[in-house]
Amino acid sequence: MAKNTRGGRPIRSSITRATPESVHVHGLDLTELLGKVNLGDFAFLELFKRLPDERESVLINAMLVSLVEHGVTPSVIAARMTIMGAPESLQGAVAAGLLGLGNTFVGTIEGAARVCQQELPGGGRHGVTPQDRLGDDEITALAAKIVDEHKAAGKPLAGIGHPVHKPVDPRAQRLFAVAAELGFDGSGPRLMTAISAVASERSGKILPVNVTGAIGALSATLGIPWNVARGLGVMARAVGLVGHLLEESENPIAGTIWSETEEEAVKP
């Protein structure tokens, strides 16, 4: 007999309960939510065990929408190439694209959220009392410390810099503006903006806060734990990848990518 390593504790999940007549998610009847709750709000429910208020709803949906489409990125290419080889496996192609969401692409949400949650009073969450909020000089000093620590450790700054969007990433700017318009605390956005300024000055390069940096900061604002914050990118990009796979079925480019890459790769 297998040894009980759970100390007698039952195997339970508090997320959902299903009966022949109903499905409940965190205590809410799913059938009553259908037609009333959008996907972003439901994602919030899964994370926080409650539906968002009106302001939280607007912000988390804006964060998710900003990540759905990024063009023909490495993750999109991976998905398109996979569906070419396995046309019967849409889910496999989506998974192939999602597997590339790491510390270079999209997963930088996690790094930015971690910095904000570990360095700011109250973890950068909305609702920090005014006396606990850092002043401008304190934010700048904190940003300089973070930049110095990352440089000394040889680590890249998550959420900073973009190959196309310069001097600012318009998506990041808009997300910060939306959060401000809704009245959310601006500690996370202020810190990421200060890190961008310090890093740009010291490197002599234009290093704006990018969209994943903005989402990381706002994940901290909403109180999404940093170790699942990149999950927002997974949720959003899955939608975008399905769109690209539909386009691939209608207007395939994977074969061209393959043949042209092979031709270039074997040139003498």
**Contact by Cβ (8 Å): 267, 148:** no
Cα 109 to Cα 191: distance, rounded to the nearest angstrom: 14
| 265 CB neighbour count, 10 Å cutoff | 7
What b/e readout covers 146-183, taking b as 16+ CB neighbours within 10 angstroms? bbeebeeeeeebbbbbbeebeeebebbbebbebbeebe
Integer angstrom CA distances of residue 253 from 76, 87, 93, 239: 11, 14, 15, 19
- Helix (H, G, I), strand (E, B), or coil: what is residue 205? coil
**Contact by Cβ (8 Å): 53, 46:** no
Joined tokens for residue 182: 């809704």
| Residue ranges for the chain with pLDDT beneath 70 | 1-7, 129-131
Joined tokens for residue 154: 């040889």
- Helix (H, G, I), strand (E, B), or coil: what is residue 29? strand
Q: Please report the pLDDT score of residue 235 as a whole number.
A: 95
The pTM assigned to this predicted structure is: 0.91
Could you give all domains of the chain from N- to C-terminal order, each with its CATH number? 8-52 (no CATH), 108-224 (1.10.230.10)
Strand partners, 25: 16, 28
Q: Where are the alpha helices (DSSP H) in the chain?
A: 30-33, 39-48, 54-68, 74-85, 90-98, 108-119, 136-153, 170-181, 187-203, 211-222, 226-250, 254-265
Q: Please report the pLDDT score of residue 77 as a whole number.
A: 96
* Residue carrying structure tokens 């059938």: 31
Q: Please report the pLDDT score of residue 124 as a whole number.
A: 87
* Span 49-108, pLDDT tens digits: 999 999 999 999 999 999 999 899 999 999 999 999 999 999 999 999 999 888 888 889
Q: Please report the pLDDT score of residue 131 as a whole number.
A: 62
Query: Is-cis flag, bond preceding 167, omega within 30?
Result: yes
**Contact by Cβ (8 Å): 62, 233:** no
Task: Show Cβ contacts of residue 74 under 8 Å, excluding neighbours closer than 6 positions.
Answer: 100, 105
Q: Please report the pLDDT score of residue 48 as a whole number.
A: 96
What b/e readout covers 91-124, taking b as 16+ CB neighbours within 10 angstroms? eebbebbbebbeeeebbbbbbbbbbbbebbebbb
Q: Please report the pLDDT score of residue 217 as a whole number.
A: 97
Strand partners, 29: 24
